[in-house]
Amino acid sequence: MKSKVVTALEEEHLLLQEASLGCRTAFTTLYTFYLPKLYKYIFPFVRYSKEDTEEILHDMFMKIWERKEDLSAIKSFNSYLYRMARNKLINIHEHSKVRRKAIDYIFQHSELAGNTTDENFIYSQYNEVIQRAIDTLPPKRKRVFEMSTHEELSQDEIAETLNISKSMVKKQLYAATRYVKEYLKVHADLTAFIALCFSVGIRH
């Protein structure tokens, strides 16, 4: 029997109130629930960099704790966190050479943004680039990469399923990840920046 997927945190408003008063247990509960979701959201935008993702998340939750008194006024912590994550990602991308070109594009196509929802638009734009990178991998390497990133299987599980050694899984994952990162460096900066800007309203 499949376990039920938890999409919302029960009594979240009470946890926010308790955390705003300095309750570390309540804050830890919020942190533990949202961390995996945010990690999965941020990870592709920093070109599959574990270190950069962890740094962003650490900085986010440190700032939230420093301003914990404001937590009780938050209506949706989920929306608050994703908006904060998108703003941080924009700050990363806005220093790149594509910034001016991206902003010009946004203003010229502002009508498109009004008909899109935040996360769906971001994923549809950015994941198209990611999928193109994945699709150009050799078949075996692509399968290993997808089993790890999409199916979330461990290296041992991948090795057992494909009947190959764990060292071979590591080798294929390393090569695939390196290739995807390099592909994104060339193709994804503008796409990501445009999508992120649309989602937080820079068009206005």
Q: How far is CA 61 from the centre of its chain?
A: 15
Statement: the pTM of the whole predicted model exceeds 0.75 = no
Domain of 23 in residue numbering reads as 12-93
Tell which of 61, 93, 125 closes a domain: 93
Under the banding of pLDDT at 50, 70 and 90, the label for residue 25 is: very high
pLDDT in tens, 83-92: 898 888 877 7
Q: Between the CA of residue 9 and those of 31, 67, 103, 150, what are the distances in Å?
A: 11, 21, 36, 24
pLDDT for residue 91: 76
Tell which of 43, 67, 93 closes a domain: 93
- How many domains in the chain? 2
The backbone region for 33, taken as left when phi is positive above 0, alpha when psi lies in -120 to 50, beta otherwise, is alpha
Per-residue tokens: 130:
């990611």
Do 76 and 104 have their domain in common? no
pLDDT in tens, 112-168: 444 445 555 555 666 677 788 888 889 999 999 889 887 888 899 999 999 999 999
Mean pLDDT of the chain: 77
pLDDT for residue 199: 46
Average of per-residue pLDDT across 73-77: 92
